[in-house]
Amino acid sequence: MSEQYFKADPHSAHKPKVFHLEYHGNYFSFETDAGVFSRDALDEGTRLLLDTVSPLISGKVLDLGCGWGAVGIILSKLHPDCVITMIDINQRACGLAERNAGLNGVSPRVLCDDGLEITGESYDWILLNPPIRAGKQTVYGLYRRSAASLNPGGCLSVVIRKQQGASSSKTELESLFHTVILEQRRKGYCVFICREARE
């Protein structure tokens, strides 16, 4: 079995790879490696999350579970007025995210942490493609900490596959937020936008 990407310190043998992608007229290059999520390409869920939030975001943005940096880096390029922080538990992924930011000429802040404490700051947007294989306790913990880490009027946006628990996630999110909207759906993925965290 391959090593799980949500481990803090992957020990998989390095298998570096570089790939290129075009997004909304901008060209990006990314380094990836074994032991990180979606090593070979931008996955469908992350692309849908980007497509959904890119026209909407502003202010302080947290890419929670950033992996090798696709969301934070692409949004940094498209929205240079946003203040973007990227965080991941996986040290190898964080190193890649830092290198990829430089490779693409942007400078979001990159933090290596488990995400449950977030950063002690508050945000206008938190973006999450949750680590489903880490289990519901971890995923729902990320939802709870996100709800507590939003500025007034802030939003949490979550992408999740229907067959990986979108319905139960929506129920959990509704216990944390007054408003949970299914903003987009494509190829079995759902993007929820959550507003007005409950006290």
Q: Say which DSSP state 163 is in.
A: G
Tell me the DSSP string of 72-94. HHHHHHH-TTSEEEEEES-HHHH
98 inside domain? yes
Angstrom distances, CA of residue 187 to CA of 5, 47, 123: 23, 11, 29
115 inside domain? yes
155 inside domain? yes
9 inside domain? no
160 inside domain? yes
User: How many domains, in total, are found in the chain?
Assistant: 1
- CATH number of the domain to which 37 belongs: 3.40.50.150
And the tokens for 41? Answer: 């390409």
Q: What is the pTM of this model?
A: 0.91
Which domain, by its residues, includes 52? Answer: 17-197
What's the CA gap between 172 and 23, in Å, rounded?
A: 32
5 inside domain? no
Q: What is the pLDDT along the chain (199 residues), one digit of tens a residue?
A: 344 445 445 556 777 789 899 999 999 999 988 778 776 779 999 999 999 999 999 999 999 999 999 999 999 999 999 999 999 988 889 999 999 999 999 999 999 987 777 788 999 999 999 988 788 999 999 999 999 999 999 999 999 998 888 999 999 999 999 999 999 999 999 999 999 999 7
77 inside domain? yes
Q: Say which DSSP state 21 is in.
A: E
4 inside domain? no
CB atoms within 10 A of CB 139: 22
